[in-house]
């Protein structure tokens, strides 16, 4: 599409003598038509991508997490994902979008777009020149929704609903919006494509989404403490089929998450799509094989957990790496996350109920670091010097220093997540109390927090 547009535009430059006033009007019309056609294509893909990313939270994550908890907590766990679709949306409209993408500060945006002022059908050329800014805004909103939803895997089955709401609003303000601005916002200190001092590559949210949520999840798990009876009491997943469907929806939705991050229906989107799929596939196999060797049986939960781990790890790399490095990143993620979830968690004895840290924190960090190794300008030629020359990206391009940049990016993300989450938990604890009481926890959060049950079999 782009090539043919340029072809049309290039013609008058070669034949200036023949351009008459009448012809230049017609050329302008052709130019406008071509622009509108590209905008239509890009916008269509971005709207679909936005819907796909929302689908990852509800029903994707809600089913995935909902199936893994005990029967008495299925609704409360699903609700922790679902309610964010409402809460974060409102916060985003008020100030969130503006704090993440308004202005050009190094750490956080400004209030330029507060209450969605000036966010309409016209594109914002700082981010995506071919789609309405409203599309960009709503697409980014879906990321802001799923990120805190991922954390809920760590405090599932024991956090108060009221505290969880307050936690999420504060967490979005203190951790997510600044991190999104630093990595993706104009002038952000980690934004490689906007002159950031520490140029990091994070295509779709390894640092912004998965490290922040995964590390915050670990902090939550440690702060809240173990579920009553953990690990002596059996806490088997109550419905693996729900989790299976949820994980498969996550896999599909992730195409919107990663390929959509190209912000256009471009060949870069295709490349990210392919890398995403390959990463997930290799990681599913990696986890399965590791488990098969270690436990003697390849489990369904292992397969789907591995796929999610691979999707996490390929997220920062998806718009920068070729298919075979994507397979390799996925394979590493599948094996590493398996070891984290099965070995490290048991060794340290923390109760990250649904392994939000083991999968998102570890997978995200691994993916962010490996992006520094495998990122190549053959895939993404977006980084140019002042003269317009395409710059090398990662170690495979001969720029080994990028791994260090990525590590600093990870470190900033870890520190922000740890400090921010601790402060927020303390605030929630002092005002509302973060954990349900013992009776409520034994009764189950469905009844104690929401007054209903997931399964009413005698009805």
Residues contacting 287, CB < 8 A, separation 6+? 302, 303, 305, 306, 307, 309, 334, 335, 337, 338
Neighbour-count burial for 426-452, b at 16+ CB within 10 Å, e otherwise: ebbbeeeebbbeeeebeebbbebbeee
Size of the site for another protein (CB under 8 A): 17
In the list 305, 380, 402, 413, the residue contacting another protein (rule: CB under 8 A) is 305
Min. distance of Cβ 366 from another protein in angstroms?
18
In the list 15, 20, 22, 297, the residue contacting another protein (rule: CB under 8 A) is 297
In the list 234, 293, 430, 456, the residue contacting another protein (rule: CB under 8 A) is 234
**237/323 with CB nearer another protein:** 237
**42/355 with CB nearer another protein:** 355
Residues contacting 109, CB < 8 A, separation 6+? 98, 99, 100, 101, 102, 103, 177, 181, 185
Q: E strands, 95-173, where?
A: none
**How many other C-beta atoms lie within 10 A of the C-beta of residue 297?**
9
**How many other C-beta atoms lie within 10 A of the C-beta of residue 252?**
12
Sequence-separated contacts (24+) of 292-296 with Cβ below 8 Å: 294/338, 294/342
Query: Measured at the alpha carbon of residue 27, what is the angle toward residues 25 and 28, in degrees to the nearest 5?
Result: 65
Q: Is residue 236 near another protein by the rule CB under 8 A?
A: yes
Min. distance of Cβ 343 from another protein in angstroms?
7
**134/299 with CB nearer another protein:** 299
Min. distance of Cβ 418 from another protein in angstroms?
24
**86/459 with CB nearer another protein:** 459
Site string for another protein, 324-363 (x = CB under 8 A): -----------------xxx-xx--------x--------
The Cα–Cα gap between 435 and 111 comes to 34
Q: Which stretch binds another protein (CB under 8 A): 160-168, 208-216, 232-240, 364-372?
A: 232-240
In the list 39, 89, 194, 299, the residue contacting another protein (rule: CB under 8 A) is 299
Closest-CA residue to 393 (of 268, 265, 254, 211): 268
3-state SS, one letter per residue, for 115-131: HHCCCCCCCECCCECCC
Min. distance of Cβ 173 from another protein in angstroms?
33
Closest-CA residue to 368 (of 254, 216, 211): 211
Min. distance of Cβ 341 from another protein in angstroms?
5
Q: E strands, 380-432, where?
A: none
In the list 7, 195, 229, 231, the residue contacting another protein (rule: CB under 8 A) is 231
Q: Which stretch binds another protein (CB under 8 A): 24-32, 99-107, 299-307, 398-406?
A: 299-307
Min. distance of Cβ 287 from another protein in angstroms?
10
Min. distance of Cβ 326 from another protein in angstroms?
25
Which residues of the shown chain bind another protein in the complex (CB under 8 A)? 231, 234-237, 295, 297, 299, 301-302, 305, 341-343, 345-346, 355
């Amino acid at each position: 599409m782009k090539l043919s547009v340029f072809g049309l535009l290039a013609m008058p430059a070669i034949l200036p003598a023949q351009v008459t006033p009448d012809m230049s009007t017609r050329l302008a019309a052709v130019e406008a038509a071509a622009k509108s056609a590209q905008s239509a294509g890009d916008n269509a893909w971005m709207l679909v991508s936005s819907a796909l990313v929302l689908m990852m939270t509800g029903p994707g994550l809600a089913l995935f997490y909902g199936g893994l908890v005990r029967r008495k907590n299925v609704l409360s766990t699903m609700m922790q994902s679902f309610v964010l679709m409402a809460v974060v949306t409102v916060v985003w409209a008020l100030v969130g979008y503006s704090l993440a993408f308004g202005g050009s500060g190094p750490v956080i945006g400004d209030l330029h777009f507060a209450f969605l002022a000036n966010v309409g059908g016209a594109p914002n050329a700082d981010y995506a020149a071919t789609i309405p800014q409203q599309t960009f805004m709503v697409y980014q909103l879906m990321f802001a929704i799923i990120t805190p939803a991922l954390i809920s895997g760590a405090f599932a089955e024991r956090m108060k609903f009221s505290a969880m709401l307050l936690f999420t609003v504060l967490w979005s303000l203190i951790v997510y919006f600044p991190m999104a601005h630093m990595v993706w916002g104009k002038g952000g200190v980690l934004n490689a494509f906007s002159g950031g001092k520490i140029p990091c590559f994070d295509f779709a949210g390894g640092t912004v989404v998965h490290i922040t949520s995964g590390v915050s999840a670990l902090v939550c798990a440690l702060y809240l403490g173990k579920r009553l009876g953990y690990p002596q009491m059996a806490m088997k997943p109550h419905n693996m089929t729900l989790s299976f469907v949820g994980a498969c929806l996550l896999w599909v939705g992730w195409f919107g998450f990663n390929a959509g991050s190209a912000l256009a229906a471009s060949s870069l989107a295709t490349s990210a799509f392919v890398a995403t799929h390959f990463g997930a596939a290799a990681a599913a196999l990696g986890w399965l094989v590791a488990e098969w060797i270690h436990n003697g049986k390849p489990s369904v939960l292992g397969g789907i957990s591995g796929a999610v781990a691979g999707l996490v790890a390929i997220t920062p790399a998806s718009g920068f790496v070729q298919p075979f490095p994507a397979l390799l990143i996925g394979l590493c993620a599948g094996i590493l996350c398996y070891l984290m979830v099965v070995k490290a968690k048991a060794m340290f004895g923390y109760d990250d109920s649904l392994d939000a840290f083991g999968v998102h924190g570890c997978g995200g960090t691994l993916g962010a670091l490996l992006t520094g190794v495998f990122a190549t300008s053959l895939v993404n030629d977006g980084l140019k010097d002042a003269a317009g020359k395409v710059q090398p990206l990662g170690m495979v391009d001969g720029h080994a220093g990028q791994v260090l940049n990525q590590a600093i990016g990870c470190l900033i993300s870890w520190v922000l997540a740890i400090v921010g989450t601790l402060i927020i938990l303390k605030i929630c604890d002092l005002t509302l109390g973060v954990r349900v009481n013992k009776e409520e926890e034994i009764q189950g959060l469905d009844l104690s927090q929401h007054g209903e049950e997931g399964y009413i079999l005698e009805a």
